[in-house]
Structure 1
Amino acid sequence: MIRWGIIGCGDVTERKSGPGFQNVEGSRLVAVMRRNAERAEDYAKRHGVPRWYSNANLLIHDAEVDAVYIATPPGSHLDYAKQVVAAGKPCYIEKPMARSYRECLEITETFAKANLPLFVAYYRRGLDRFLKAQELVQTGKIGTVSGILYRFSSSAHKARQRDAETLFPYSPTTEMKTELPWRLDATEAGGGLFLDLGCHTLDIIDFIVGELQDVSGEAGNVASAHAVEDCVTLSFRTETGAVGSALWNFASAFSEDMIQITGTEGRITLSTFGNEPVLLETGEETVTFDLPNPDTIQQPLIQTIVDALHGKGECPSTGITATRTSRVMDIALSGYYRGREDAFWTRPETWRG
């Protein structure tokens, strides 16, 4: 039995992840931590968790906690991850893994040196929709992959904080509504909404077609009142030579979310954040695969983590795969932030916006 402790029991843990630690085989949630003691206690009572803390260090060093899930904003991930390593425990970190590629690399190397397992919450790698897309590519249903296209648009520039759900019409929860401020604060998030949302798509493209190479990109602030970027574009190649491009536009009059993977014999169309069927089109047929997401969307990935910790399999989302995604994002954002290898969030006066 893997006994889990959660640092940061906010909205994302209410439905997306928290119940999964209780529901999967070989796992149990035994402790939670939140700086607000009253809210930590309330969460523990509502979810049947035996212990709660308002101090992360106490949870990390709880002798009955075998592994730690860090579910705070990215700005605190590096510090908490180092504390978990010092305690000699495996760790599961919310995405994005950290504020920058440099921080992700430091986390990954620290866990590797300590020979401790590290997992990251790119949970779409465990969902049937994306496993099907990967299967269709790997079994040659669309021939040789030649091109990848992604487009995301939303009217984030028009939304007020209290109406934050309009920023992200594909979300199955109202998480964005209560947590929006940190997502637009580079000190906490490492950038704008691209860091929070774009990482999911880049990671799942990596999962389906392989590591992205020869990456180039640009970012800008077109309409946002905040200092962070609101438009990002990038291009890339895959390991097999396919070319790809992607655009995230948070200053659009329209909403869009589409991944299209084209091959020599067909194409696959699906979204990152939706729940609609995966579409396969070839010269001979058009097929849809209706594979709805589970109620606790992180649960399938959590099961792979628990299995890996029990020595019964591998988890597809690790520190290594997450660091690759962060590298791609940093390439796209480097020009806007005038470099991302330092504490760039402390010098907004130098940013391009």
Structure 2
Amino acid sequence: MKKIKDSEVRWGVLGVGNVCEKKSAPAMNIVPHSKLVAVMRRNEERVKDYAERHSVPKWYTDASELVEDSDINAIYIATPPHMHLPYTKLAASMGKPVYVEKPMARTFAECKEMIAVCEEAGVPLYVAYYRRALPHFIKIKEVMDSGTIGEIRTVHINMKQVIRPDAVVHLENNWRIDPQIAGGGYFFDLASHQLDLLDFFFGPITKAKGFAANQAKAYGAEDIVTGTFVFENGVIGTGNWCFTASQTAQIDEIIIYGNKGKISFQTFGLGEFVLESDQQEKQSFHLELPYHIQQPLIQSIVDDLLGKGYCPSTGKTGARTNWVMDQLVNSEYLKL
């Protein structure tokens, strides 16, 4: 069933920051039956500049004016997380489908409210967990589903980063480490991708426990998180995230162990993964990433809205990731 009445998805974007330069919004003019109609940002000079550089017909400095534009039939919310809930309410009140950046919101409670308002308005809600649609992650899932590494036993996330210069040099402008805006620190920004990807592979996490701390005290959010989690299908996982590690300790790795082999890969890498099994020699795979990294997911959203396909990243799947992060951090940062 079509989820919009038109034959074309005409997008309006709320918040055109860095994510809209290459990753997302430009793809809306490349995907068939999709068009980027208007953009909004409160800073008039910047939104006008964006519209001119990307040949967008309309620009606004007021969110309500964009959402009310009758030429627009779908809304992409590309703002920091603290505005996801209010802008979702605004879009739903006008009966327009919502595509919202990740993490879906600051807390699981906010996610549930977003789902409720969209269900009440009868509009779809999608979340920008675009790794669900990238070729190498789809291939990894196919390899696991084929039984090549046998029954999945455990999965382990290991992420270590040095403290980012922008975390301390431009602290006042770095919303990613302001819990009031982001819900937490870099864990919420980066680990959300990893946890959602594992949800795509294995289904929902039903149990999760963790510890979080602010060890370096360079900013006001957690900078280290460890945790364990159990998936609905019985797979058990662990995670270890540190954002104030040494240069030599830097790592981005997920390893999935089956009873006949393992798969290892980077979440934020170049489309590569390594397969090792008892039945064959070690294999390395490389699948090309799209120039606009969100294009495959946006394609699935357009297809879903036009009744031609299915989008794998919805409000319900996105909310599950927020629930897991809430359980792992479980701190005062969530008391917004």
TM-score with structure 2 setting the length: 0.94
222, 233, 240: which one pairs with 2:226? 233
In the alignment, structure 1 residue 257 sits paired with structure 2 residue 262: no
Q: Is the 8 A contact 2:168 2:219 kept in 1?
A: no
295, 299, 315: which one pairs with 1:303? 299
SS in 2 for 1:88: coil
Q: Which is further off, 267-276 or 88-97?
A: 267-276
110, 117, 133: which one pairs with 1:126? 133
Give, as a single letter, the amino acid of the residue that structure 2 aligns with 1:245. T
CA spacing shift, 1:163–1:337, aligned 2, 3 Å: closer
Specify the alignment match of 1:213 in structure 2.
206
11, 18, 21: which one pairs with 1:11? 18
Q: Is the 8 A contact 2:167 2:218 kept in 1?
A: no
In the alignment, structure 1 residue 277 sits paired with structure 2 residue 272: yes
List gaps (5 residues or longer) in structure 2. 1-7
SS in 1 for 2:332: coil
Q: CA deviation at 1:145?
A: 0.1
Specify the alignment match of 2:327 in structure 1.
331
Q: CA deviation at 1:162?
A: 8.3
305, 311, 323: which one pairs with 1:315? 311
Specify the alignment match of 1:171 in structure 2.
none
5 Å-filtered alignment, 1:14-29, equals 14-29=21-36
Specify the alignment match of 2:44 in structure 1.
37
Give, as a single letter, the amino acid of the residue that structure 1 aligns with 2:114. I
Q: What do the CA deviations read for 1:254-294 (whole angstroms, capped 9, x no partner)?
A: 21000100001111111110115211100122112211211
Taking the aligned partners of 1:132 and 1:280, their CA distance within structure 2 comes to: 11
Give, as a single letter, the amino acid of the residue that structure 1 aligns with 2:326. D
Specify the alignment match of 1:181 in structure 2.
174
Specify the alignment match of 1:160 in structure 2.
165
Give, as a single letter, the amino acid of the residue that structure 1 aligns with 2:156. L
Taking the aligned partners of 2:130 and 2:332, their CA distance within structure 1 comes to: 28
Q: Is the 8 A contact 2:178 2:221 kept in 1?
A: yes
Q: Is the 8 A contact 1:125 1:316 kept in 2?
A: yes
Aligned length: 326
Taking the aligned partners of 1:277 and 1:286, their CA distance within structure 2 comes to: 14
SS in 2 for 1:274: coil
Give, as a single letter, the amino acid of the residue that structure 1 aligns with 2:192. C
SS in 2 for 1:106: helix
Give, as a single letter, the amino acid of the residue that structure 1 aligns with 2:165. R
Q: CA deviation at 1:178?
A: 11
Q: Is the 8 A contact 2:168 2:218 kept in 1?
A: no
Q: Is the 8 A contact 1:137 1:209 kept in 2?
A: no
Specify the alignment match of 2:115 in structure 1.
108
Identity among equivalent positions (%) equals 45
Q: Is the 8 A contact 1:224 1:251 kept in 2?
A: no
Q: What do the CA deviations read for 1:130-172 (whole angstroms, capped 9, x no partner)?
A: 101111111111100001011000011xx432898xxxxxxxx
CA spacing shift, 1:258–1:242, aligned 2, 3 Å: same
List gaps (5 residues or longer) in structure 1. 165-176, 346-353
Q: CA deviation at 1:224?
A: 3.0
Taking the aligned partners of 1:238 and 1:100, their CA distance within structure 2 comes to: 20
Taking the aligned partners of 2:53 and 2:161, their CA distance within structure 1 comes to: 34
In the alignment, structure 1 residue 268 sits paired with structure 2 residue 263: yes
SS in 2 for 1:32: strand
Specify the alignment match of 1:73 in structure 2.
80
Specify the alignment match of 2:68 in structure 1.
61
Q: CA deviation at 1:187?
A: 1.2
Taking the aligned partners of 1:332 and 1:236, their CA distance within structure 2 comes to: 9
81, 85, 97: which one pairs with 1:90? 97
Give, as a single letter, the amino acid of the residue that structure 2 aligns with 1:161. D
Taking the aligned partners of 1:129 and 1:179, their CA distance within structure 2 comes to: 37
Q: CA deviation at 1:25?
A: 0.9
Specify the alignment match of 2:287 in structure 1.
291
Specify the alignment match of 2:185 in structure 1.
192
Taking the aligned partners of 2:29 and 2:167, their CA distance within structure 1 comes to: 32
SS in 2 for 1:15: coil
Q: CA deviation at 1:179?
A: 10
Q: Is the 8 A contact 2:132 2:312 kept in 1?
A: yes
Deviant stretches of 4+, over 4 Å:
177-180
SS in 1 for 2:138: helix
Specify the alignment match of 2:124 in structure 1.
117
Specify the alignment match of 1:348 in structure 2.
none
